[in-house]
Amino acid sequence: MRLLLASSEVHPYSKSGGLADMVAALAKALGRAGHEVGLVTPLYRGIRERFPQLQRLDYFLEVPLGERRVQCEVWTLQPSEGLTVYFIDRPEFYHRGGLYNEGGADYPDNAHRFIFLSKCVVHLARYLPLKPELVHVHDWQVGLVPLMILHQRWHEGWKDAPRTCLTIHNLAYQGNFSRAEYSLANLPLDYFNPDGAEFWGQLSCLKAAISYADLLTTVSPRYAREITTEEYGCGLDPALRARQESLVGILNGVDYDEWNTTDNPSLPFAYSVDRMAGKAANKAALQKELGLPVNPNAPLFGSITRLADQKGVDIQIGALEEMLAANLQFALLGSGSAEFERAYADLARRYPNKVAITLGYNQGLSHRIEAGSDFFLMPSRFEPCGLNQMYSQRYGTLPIVRVTGGLDDTVTDLTEDDSEANGIKFHEYSVRALAKAIRKALVLYETPALRTKMQQNAMRLDFSWKRTGESYLKAYREGLNSKR
């Protein structure tokens, strides 16, 4: 199959969250499976310097953007079998300090930046020799692609235009802009209506994709159900219910080439499900690295997260306030809300022998926290899929999760199946419920035989991208056969 994927971020070139990991792993898995795969993403500042093997494509790309005509260069890289990455080089738009924002404020020209990206994707889909059968877009930043392709099929003579697939990674991020920004799309106003790209008088890039893509997917089966409800639908649940027959939840996979415990340059000690001694050694090394007392008897709780309301940070801080009197340690890697950053820094100041806080992001440290922790906290208010709980499981670190989205799909509690349990779940979104789950973990830590059995269950789970890629291919075929 000939496929073109599009995303505003792709690991290892750019990353703000799990979107980058997912798109990179899916593209690699599809290429390895024998398909011809292209992937379009911006050339952000610093990529060319970090990847000097990039080559400029001898190709002229110019598209209208409102009243302007905007040109760009296209650079390419072939990082793995069957995969070509196409980088859109427009320094005016992408050579900046952040991907979407700086200092907590979105760039004011994000509509220009990502409508332009969408137009480049469509242009490449139409004129590259690849001639994709299906274009797969990810999140709002490339949300106008399905509408633009349909418009060119219906009105501009693109008779063999590809089918389109949208994956919703997080419905809360919608790409909503003023009505005036719709003119940047150079599309008739016919599409700016409540059944199309209009959302409460604004342009919604994500709603446009929901309305016009042939196939809709999201990143876990439970989240696919949740987003059709008023509670989790972020105002778009009516549009999603209208497309429910075209919506499927496919659980994200894990790139085990990177996230493994046996051949990992980020870990000081290797270990496996059959040889676990290295996990204890990684814990001691992590405690030393973070300035915590090296104490094998103190259960270590890890967290790698954006410091945002969605991630349950408020109840996590409250539960830690309640539980830090107990014999435990806590390590956080993350950044986000200044209020939450200050709250965690205050915890570290008051409990220097129990709390270690690293603000920002460090890929190597993320692996060491996953490997060195005994438990991993993910008390999300909502979680479309989540990846860290699956990384934790492969690393023998038991996740503590709230029952929502992909967290529910991937973690099994003792109360659900005591022979296959691989983590701890709680339901109520409250400090009390999370503190109770932490107390369960402390009891489990003092029950070595049961804890080891749960670690082994977790490490033997298979969330490989081979399985996930096959699910996407099945969905693609359904999309190709749709009658839209």
Close Cβ partners of 448 (under 8 Å, ≥ 6 residues apart): none
pLDDT at 119: 98
* Residue 12 in this model has a pLDDT that exceeds 90: yes
Mean pLDDT across 425-436: 98
* Percent of all residues in the chain with a pLDDT value above 70, rounded to a whole number: 100
Q: Out of 3.40.50.10310, 3.30.930.10, 3.40.50.720, 3.40.50.2000, select the CATH number for domain 277-462.
A: 3.40.50.2000
Looking at 96-144, list the stretches that DSSP marks H as alpha helix, in order from N- to C-terminal side: 110-127
26-50 pLDDT, tens digit each: 999 999 999 999 999 999 999 999 9
Domain boundaries defined on the chain? 2-253+466-480, 277-462
* Residue 4 in this model has a pLDDT that exceeds 70: yes
Q: Do residues 94 and 117 lie in contact, with contact meaning Cβ atoms separated by under 8 Å?
A: no
* Residue 144 in this model has a pLDDT that exceeds 70: yes
pLDDT at 386: 93
Topology, domain 2-253+466-480? Rossmann fold (3.40.50)
CA distance 257 to 284: 25
Close Cβ partners of 1 (under 8 Å, ≥ 6 residues apart): 35, 36, 133, 134, 473, 476
213-236 pLDDT, tens digit each: 999 999 999 999 999 999 999 999
Q: Are both 2-253+466-480 and 277-462 of the same fold?
A: yes
396-406 pLDDT, tens digit each: 999 999 999 99
CA distance 252 to 25: 9
